[in-house]
Chains A and B, each alone.
Chain A
Amino acid sequence: MTVLILTCEEDVTADMVVVHLNASGVPVVRLDPADLPGAVALSGEYVHGAFRGHLQSAGRLVSISGLRSIWVRRPGTPATRAPDPSDWLTEESSQALYGMLRGSDARWMNHPDAARRARHKPWQLRLAQRCGLPVPATLITSFPQAAREFAERYPDLVVKPVSGAHPQDPPRAVPTSRVAPDTDFSAVAFGPTLLQRRVAKRADIRLTVVGERMLAARKTAGEADEVDVRFASPDVPWQATEVPPRVATAVAAYLRGAELAYGAFDFAEDADGTWWFLECNQSGQFGFVEVETGQPIARAVADWLASPGTEPSSHVNGASGTVR
């Protein structure tokens, strides 16, 4: 049985996992959907009540029924490297590839439906609340007056993108940033805005969860104005830390509810030691944590991908779904 990895060629974090799978003798096919059609080819037939499908990439041919797991890491958009790309061809290629794969019995890390839903940060906040994780007071609004009133109640605020995405025209980064007390909120009317009470943190926490395995890393916070750890000084290292039992229980519930096999949680640890939920990235990077802490995250991913599947899951409000 083969592990299928969907990612771009330059993804060295995926390499870290491939190395472990190779060492274990687990067959791997790695491809980028951007190369379909072209370097990647597929075929599937539905005849006499059965399905037979195959994928080919770089001389490797794999049966879709022979897949044990599918890891959706950093895949390109289907057909974007085709000789004559178009939106139509992208949709055709996407439907063919992911449509066939959705019909397989392979386990997913993570299933596209669960992944798509899990990217919604407002949904994340609500699920975290339901699972008992502390969530900082948050407002998402396009009403300037609502923003002003929220700022009166919580004078120490940060702002961050609702989607987590960065604008590309021109390319800009929008880090989580402090909002000054005398800020003019008029521009809130021009786009939904996420305001959140700033947690006076003494550390950032990155909790990487692979299946049921939890690996937490902690980074001592720097200056109060640098609230976004992604843009903080690299001089302070990440260090492995323990997961408080209550957090572990709530995080496990979160992943069950989200139907995710992998999640990278960001928390802010306050002076009391409370871990405040900020977000869960369903495909969050882990290489930098492993490089700094030595935690065996890539091995954990490889072990999960290589292990036999358990019961089929519902994937977003299916018949036996647990998520409302």
Chain B
Amino acid sequence: MQPFALNYARPAVELEATTPYVYDTGLQLNVTMDGRIAAGDSALLRELGTTTSTAGSKTHFDD
């Protein structure tokens, strides 16, 4: 009784549970452990994949 499309499903790849930055409510931004703005570190964002089109798929429809 499995819907056709689920014949093509793969196990979900979970993102790392921990990220090397934390939200700062004062700045309203995520900052790295050494105090830098995470969004300003392109290499970090690329490495973590937190801005990619599959990053929000678990809880959001929109990629």
> Nearest Cβ distance between residue A28 and chain B, in whole angstroms?
6
Q: In the complex where A168-B58, A288-B51 touch, is A174 in contact with B46 (Cβ < 8 A)?
A: no
A146 at the interface (CB under 8 A from B): no
Give the number of residues in B that approach A within 8 Å (Cβ atoms): 44
Contact of A12 among B2, B38, B59, B63 (CB under 8 A): B38
Of A46-54, A63-71, A188-196, the segment with at least 4 beta carbons within 8 Å of chain B is A188-196
Instruction: Check: A167 CB closer than 8 A to any chain B CB.
Output: yes
**A residues less than 8 Å from B1 (CB atoms):** 190
CB < 8 Å: which of A281, A282, A288 contacts B52?
A288
Q: Which chain A residues border B30 with CB–CB below 8 Å? A: 9-10, 12, 15
A175 and B63 within 8 A (CB): no
Contacts of B62 in A (CB 8 A): 119, 164, 264, 281-285
Instruction: Chain B residues near A167: list those with CB within 8 A.
Output: 6, 9
The answer to whether A160 and B5 touch (CB under 8 A), given A171-B14, A173-B10, is yes
| Cβ contact within 8 Å between A174 and B29 | no
Contacting residues, chain A, for B23 (C-beta < 8 A): 9-10
- Name B5's contact: one of A16, A30, A194 (CB within 8 Å): A194
Q: Say yes or no: is A231 at the interface (Cβ < 8 Å to chain B).
A: yes
Instruction: Contacts A281-B63, A292-B46 given; indicate if A173 touches B57 (C-beta within 8 A).
Output: yes
**Chain A residues touching B, range:** 35 or more
- In the complex, how many angstroms separate the beta carbon of B21 from the nearest chain A beta carbon? 7
- From the candidates B9, B39, B50, B63, name the one contacting A172 in the complex (CB within 8 A): B9
> How near does chain A come to B13, taking the closest CB pair, in angstroms?
7
Structural contact, A173 and B12, CB atoms closer than 8 A: yes
Considering only residues 6-56 of chain B, those with a C-beta below 8 Å from chain A are: 6-14, 19, 21, 23, 25-26, 28-30, 37-40, 42, 45-46, 49-56
Residues of B within 8 A of A (CB): 1-14, 19, 21, 23, 25-26, 28-30, 37-40, 42, 45-46, 49-63
Binding site for B on A (CB under 8 A): 9-10, 12-13, 15-16, 18-19, 28-30, 58-59, 74, 119, 147, 159-168, 170-175, 177, 185, 187-188, 190-191, 193-194, 206, 229-231, 264, 281-288, 290-292
